[in-house]
């Protein structure tokens, strides 16, 4: 194999696929990135058997062939190569030669045919939205998923597509985050199939026979985190998502990401969300965040002590008391309904505040034992946070 490409293009491509290289694996070839120049395109692949990423890059194929090469070493090498064109070649012993300007490296590679290719995903019923919308949505929901495997389903993002809307939900037993967007605003009508439609129209008009798209799947949190990282996030470029029984595939630009789905049934989220409330408070998000941030200062990491919000007419008073000391601060708010005194882990409130973009936000309370909801009128976002008991 022999290819010639620009250092920048190679670096960019390796940087994308390297996110799927496993930290630990029993199959040494998976520590490699596969360079496949056996056809007319240069294709780079990495695969940890859960998540696989493949991308096509610019370059000239001088000798067709494939090569697997240690991803970490290759990435560092390319990164420190002089700017300009580089040549990557290999011989029958899988020894790689990497040359750029006067710098010349020789490194042992592996047999590319032993590499595990990405599984096949049938490409019908695409879900289409802008790269920006997907990247944004992941960032505003994923933090509420559980980071550890105690309950596998809680580590996932629940994706639902129905009635031309896409919804993503994450929860970890203490909180829930949910975002909903209209797909019809996102799709490009010039694409081959357009299944996303305006809410009030008849479904599938443009595609003729296509049925209304209804999909739900639990996407691994890790996969979604990596996608958020490598998505360029352009407002006018699309991502296509294909879901099968076991797999999900994301296609954007020259890149394909395939991931296994998490098996099982997601929680009945609609049962968790109530719209009744006894108290509604409108706060300035920035001010509330700064207050909450200060309250965390005197709570040690392993301390479960809550911050106590005492909400009366026009005033939200915040108080914490720990072995380090105490903090008190109040802010002006506009309140509707009953007074309430309720305790929270301030970190959970803070995380939700950071994920919301509005300047003024509404918090809804029922009583001091019931979850607090933060949502806008259209419910484009819903954040639920469980309160913490406290002794008054």
Residue 73 interacting with a copy of itself (CB under 8 A): yes
Closest by CA position to 142, among listed 178, 173, 183, 180:
178
Nearer to a copy of itself, 278 or 287 (CB): 287
For a copy of itself, which stretch binds (CB under 8 A), given 75-83, 177-185, 189-197, 354-362?
A: 75-83
Residue 324 interacting with a copy of itself (CB under 8 A): yes
What would the x/- binding string for a copy of itself be over residues 80 to 119, using CB under 8 A?
xxx-------------x-----xxxxxxx-----------
For a copy of itself, which stretch binds (CB under 8 A), given 43-51, 269-277, 320-328, 335-343?
A: 320-328
Cα dihedral sign, 196-140-340-387: positive
Q: How far is the CB of 317 from a copy of itself (least distance, A)?
A: 10
φ, ψ (nearest 5 deg) of residue 151 = -125, 105
For a copy of itself, which stretch binds (CB under 8 A), given 271-279, 286-294, 354-362, 383-391?
A: 286-294
- What are the C-alpha distances in Å from 143 to residues 274, 277, 351, 378? 22, 26, 8, 22
H/E stretch holding 292: helix 285-295
Binds a copy of itself by CB under 8 A, chosen from 91, 114, 201, 328:
328
Pairs from 265-273 (Cβ < 8 Å, separation ≥ 24): 265/153, 266/153, 266/156, 266/158, 266/169, 266/216, 266/218, 267/153, 267/158, 267/171, 269/158, 269/169, 269/171, 269/176, 269/178, 272/171, 272/176, 272/371, 272/384, 273/176, 273/178, 273/373, 273/382, 273/384
Q: How far is the CB of 80 from a copy of itself (least distance, A)?
A: 5
For a copy of itself, which stretch binds (CB under 8 A), given 79-87, 136-144, 205-213, 364-372?
A: 79-87
286 contacts: CB under 8 Å, gap ≥ 6: 359
Q: How far is the CB of 77 from a copy of itself (least distance, A)?
A: 6
Residue 290 interacting with a copy of itself (CB under 8 A): yes
Q: How far is the CB of 61 from a copy of itself (least distance, A)?
A: 23
Give the separation between CA 344 and CA 306, rounded to whole angstroms: 5
- What are the C-alpha distances in Å from 61 to residues 36, 53, 133, 208? 10, 21, 36, 42
Give the separation between CA 212 and CA 162, rounded to whole angstroms: 8
Q: Give the number of other Cβ atoms within 10 Å of residue 197's Cβ.
A: 22
For a copy of itself, which stretch binds (CB under 8 A), given 257-265, 290-298, 334-342, 360-368?
A: 290-298
Q: How far is the CB of 76 from a copy of itself (least distance, A)?
A: 5
Nearer to a copy of itself, 260 or 294 (CB): 294
Q: How far is the CB of 14 from a copy of itself (least distance, A)?
A: 14
Give the separation between CA 159 and CA 129, rounded to whole angstroms: 13
For a copy of itself, which stretch binds (CB under 8 A), given 125-133, 153-161, 321-329, 378-386?
A: 321-329
Binds a copy of itself by CB under 8 A, chosen from 62, 63, 76, 205:
76
Cα dihedral sign, 361-367-373-376: negative
Binds a copy of itself by CB under 8 A, chosen from 325, 378, 391, 392:
325
Count the site residues for a copy of itself by CB under 8 A. 28
The residues that touch a copy of itself, with contacts defined as CB under 8 A, are: 73, 76-77, 80-82, 96, 102-108, 290-291, 293-294, 297-298, 324-331
């Amino acid at each position: 194999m022999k290819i010639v490409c620009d250092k920048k293009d190679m670096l960019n491509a390796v940087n994308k696929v390297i996110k799927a290289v496993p930290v630990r694996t029993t199959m040494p070839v998976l520590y490699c990135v596969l360079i496949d120049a056996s056809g007319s395109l240069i294709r780079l692949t990495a695969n940890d058997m859960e998540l696989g990423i493949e991308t096509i890059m610019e370059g000239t194929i001088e000798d067709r062939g494939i090569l697997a090469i240690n991803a970490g070493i290759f990435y560092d090498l390319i990164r420190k190569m002089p700017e300009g064109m580089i040549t990557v070649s290999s011989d029958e012993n899988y020894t790689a030669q990497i040359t750029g300007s006067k710098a010349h490296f020789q490194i042992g590679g592996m047999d590319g045919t032993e590499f595990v290719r990405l599984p096949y995903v049938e490409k019908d019923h695409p879900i289409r939205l802008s790269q920006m919308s997907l990247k944004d949505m992941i960032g505003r929901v994923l933090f509420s998923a559980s980071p550890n495997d105690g309950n596998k389903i809680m580590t996932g993002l629940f994706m639902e597509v129905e009635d031309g809307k896409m919804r993503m939900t994450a929860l970890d037993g203490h909180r829930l985050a949910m975002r909903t967007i209209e797909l019809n605003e996102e799709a490009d009508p010039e694409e081959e199939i357009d299944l996303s439609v305006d809410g009030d129209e008849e479904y599938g008009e443009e595609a003729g026979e296509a049925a209304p798209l209804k999909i739900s799947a639990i996407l691994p949190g890790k996969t979604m985190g990596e996608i958020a990282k490598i998505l360029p996030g352009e407002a006018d470029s699309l991502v296509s998502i294909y879901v099968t029984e076991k797999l999900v595939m994301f296609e954007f630009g020259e890149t394909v990401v395939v991931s296994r789905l998490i098996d099982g049934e997601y929680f009945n989220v609609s049962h968790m969300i109530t719209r009744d409330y006894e108290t509604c408070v409108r706060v300035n998000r920035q001010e509330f965040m700064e207050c909450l941030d200060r309250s965390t200062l005197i709570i040690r990491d392993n301390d479960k002590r809550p911050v106590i919000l005492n909400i009366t007419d026009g005033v939200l008073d915040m108080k914490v008391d720990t072995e380090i000391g105490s903090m008190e601060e109040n802010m002006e708010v506009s309140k509707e309904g009953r007074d309430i005194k309720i305790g929270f882990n301030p970190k959970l409130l803070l995380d939700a505040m950071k994920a919301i973009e509005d300047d003024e936000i509404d918090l809804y309370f029922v009583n001091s034992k019931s979850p607090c909801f933060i949502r806008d009128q259209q419910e484009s976002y819903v954040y639920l946070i469980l309160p913490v008991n406290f002794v008054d």
